[in-house]
Amino acid sequence: METIHKIGRRKTAVARVYLSEGKGNITVNTKDLKDYFTTGTLQYKVNQALMLTGNEENFDVSVNVFGGGITGQAEAIRLALSRAMCELDAENRSVLKPEGLLTRDPRMVERKKFGQKKARKKFQFSKR
């Protein structure tokens, strides 16, 4: 099996995932998964696509991720892994789709407008 390369995005985070046969090692930016994502929730998010398809021990995953915060990065990796699982076996799609793992979340930070403090917040108004 050759290496499968997929990209996932979330907010401003971009994750490039390289999937190859192995023993289940996941490296993120040359660090181990548990060192890069310290909380259990984020580790679960990254592993979710592999767990649902039953492939935790079958593949080595190498990830390059940049931009955004750690939650956005974890969700970008999750989307890329889900896409890779679908390319690997088309039947995985029926497992991942109902869980919402193949949907690219379109929510982005709203831009700041001029004459305002933030996107929606205004400067304090003084009547007198």
Q: With cut-offs at 50, 70 and 90, classify the pLDDT of residue 41.
A: very high
Q: With cut-offs at 50, 70 and 90, classify the pLDDT of residue 20.
A: very high
| Residues linked to residue 71 through DSSP beta bridges, in sequence order | none
Strands 26-28 and 13-21: unpaired
Structure tokens at 61: 């995953």
CB 122 within 8 A of CB 112: no
pLDDT in the model for residue 1: 72
pLDDT in tens, 66-116: 999 999 999 999 999 999 999 988 899 999 999 999 999 999 999 999 999
What stretches of 40-87 adopt beta strand conformation (E)? 59-66
Looking from the CA of 70 toward its CB, the CA atoms found within 13 Å total: 12
| Distance from C-alpha of 59 to C-alpha of 112, rounded to nearest angstrom | 43
For the domain made up of 4-97, the CATH class stated in words is alpha beta
Report which of residues 1 and 55 the model is more confident about.
55
CB 101 within 8 A of CB 49: yes
pLDDT in tens, 55-75: 888 899 999 999 999 999 999
The model's pTM = 0.91
Share of the chain above pLDDT 70, in %: 100
Helices 40-53, 70-88: crossing angle, 10 deg rounding: 10
